[in-house]
Every structure is written in structure tokens, then in C-alpha cells.
Amino acid sequence: MLMAPAVSPRRTSSGPNNPAVRLYKFETSSGQVLDYTQYYLDLNLANQKDYADWQPEYNLTSYYGLTEVTAQSLHELAYTFTDQKSYSHLFSRYYEANAVRLYPSPEVGGCDASCAQTHYCAVTRLEYSQFRHCLEAAASALASSAAPPALARPLLLLLQLLLPLLLLAAAPSTLGQSQLAAT
């Protein structure tokens, strides 16, 4: 959650992302982060106007409805990314802010529930091995609760069509053997 976006624009298939910077408000005696405001530069608009006009994108506490910025509150916020009830609202807000307004929603950016889980793992796991474990655990849970593969139905239909043909192919040899036994 506290990973700031890049200042340098990175080109993607849909174009360069908008650069962003954050202005942190913190307690000077303890270093505790109290809040931050993220500013962004709309590259398309800047190129049209021929000057850079940095705008506030969001304020952490008001954007997510946080009363305080603590490890616990940020973890609870990140956990909502995996909750289907909260997914549409809070994850959409996170995704838009994380993409610095490049995509207006996860759907436009091609981000589904699996993608949301990847973001959850990325913001809650600091070490790469923990991140990989988080992704693998989620993939395993998805696989065990998933519906039968899409290929199962066509294979079943194919088997239903081929079974009579197999029986017909086997029938003459069986019929021939029974006729031989009768003679």
C-alpha cells in the first residue's frame, strides 16, 4: 500500500503510464506515517497544453476511509482485495490509484479476481519467497474450488458419439465368433 508509483512513465501496450509522486505527512518525533497525498501528471493533457500541471489524485485516509495509518489498518484494507463483497469498490479504487489513472477500473485494465490476489500478495508480502507462497496458496485454493474444466463437457459429448461406433465396430467380430461357435 505504501509503494509509490514511478515518476518516470513506463510504456505499456496502451501507452505510457502517468507519473506520480507522494507528499507524506508524518509524526516528526516517531516517524509514524499519518497520511499522504498522491499527485499525478496526466501525460496526455500535459502534451496537449504543452506544460506539466501536477494534480492531487487522492489522499490515503479519505480515499480508503481510514481513521489511522497503521500496519493493521493497511493489512485490513489489503485483505478486502480478496473479499468478493468489497472487491468491486475498494479494489477498484486501489487499482485506479495504483495505475495512476491509466485504467479507470480493473475490468478495463484486464484485472480479475486472480489479479486482485496478486496485488494482495504484493502489498502484504515483503520477501519474494513469501510472495510466491501467497500466490501458490491462492492458486491451489482456486483450483480446488473451481468448476470442472471447460474441456470436460466437449470430451463427454465426444465420448457419447464415439461409444456407439466402438460398439458397432466390436459387434461384427463378436457376432462372427458366436456364429463360428454355433457351427
Per-residue pLDDT 10s for the chain (183 aa) are 677 777 777 666 666 678 889 999 999 999 999 999 999 998 889 999 999 999 999 999 999 999 999 989 988 888 887 776 655 678 888 878 877 766 655 555 567 777 788 888 888 888 999 999 998 887 655 444 444 445 444 544 544 555 455 555 555 554 455 454 554
Flag whether 54 is in a domain.
Answer: yes
φ/ψ (deg, to 5) at 53: -125, 95
In terms of residue numbers, what domain contains 21? 11-145
pLDDT for residue 97:
81
Q: Which of 92, 91, 139 is nearest to 131 (CA)?
A: 139
Q: Distance between alpha carbon 159 and the CA centroid of its chain, in Å?
A: 36
pLDDT of the residue at 10? 67
Determine which helix (DSSP H) or strand (DSSP E) holds 22, and give its type and residue range. strand 20-26
Element (H, E) at 55: strand 55-59
Helices 71-79, 113-124: crossing angle, 10 deg rounding: 170
Max distance between CA atoms of the chain, in angstroms, equals: 106
Does 164 reside within a domain? no
- Whether residue 62 is contained in a domain is answered as yes
**Residue 157 covered by a domain:** no
Structure confidence at residue 143 (pLDDT): 46
Domain count, the chain: 1
pLDDT at residue 120, rounded to an integer: 84
The pLDDT, as a whole number, for residue 144 is 46
